[in-house]
Amino acid sequence: MTQTRTRKARALVAACAGLAGSAALLWAASATVWYHGAGVAGRPGTESTGAQVAPSLTGVALLALAAVAAVVATGGVLRRLVGALLGLVAVVAGVVAVRALVVLPTAPNPVARTPAPLLAVAGAAALLAVGLFMLLREPRLPRFGSRYAAPGDRRAEVDPDRAAWQALDAGMDPTADVPGSRGDDPGDGARTGPG
């Protein structure tokens, strides 16, 4: 049982690390220069960052980071929905990044591409992998303890000391239903020895 819990915990940690890594890659891709434009007639060259080429990358990076909390805090169908959303967003981000690698922007100046869009491709691939993992392997991931479960899903755990105090507060004798408690008190009229 302990090994199963350990494996589940490791899988969840790996998924969260994948989301954090994806967010870092996408953020770096949005901050780096994707295209260099040559200068014309004495003017300096231009540069286009990932955020300028694909403004959605920053938002996808923030979504991947927020998904860490969503994956840890949810479970069941809700966690699978988070996985499906991550997969869908990853596909869109990946298409944008691959398009930037294949198609040069139209500009009057000659444009040179940098390898920076590869960061976005890697980030989108990592995000897609985590999304599919959440979607397909969610039952193998741990959930919060029973105190975070819905009232119908958790077992009633009664602390005996607390139950005794609650019974006293309600005006009941908490020892009345305890087996072996009757006859122990000499004042209750029970015979304690041969008479």
Q: What domains are there in the chain, each with its CATH number?
A: 2-147 (1.20.140), 159-190 (no CATH)
Instruction: Note the pLDDT tens digit of each residue in 53-112.
Output: 889 999 999 999 999 999 888 888 899 999 999 999 999 999 999 988 888 776 666 678
**Beta pairing class for 33-37 and 46-49:** antiparallel
pTM strictly above 0.85: no
Query: How far apart are the C-alpha atoms of 4 and 175, rounded to whole Å?
Result: 40
What mean pLDDT value characterizes the chain? 80
Query: How far apart are the C-alpha atoms of 176 and 163, rounded to whole Å?
Result: 13
CB within 8 A of 109, min separation 6: which ones?
37, 38, 39, 40, 45, 46
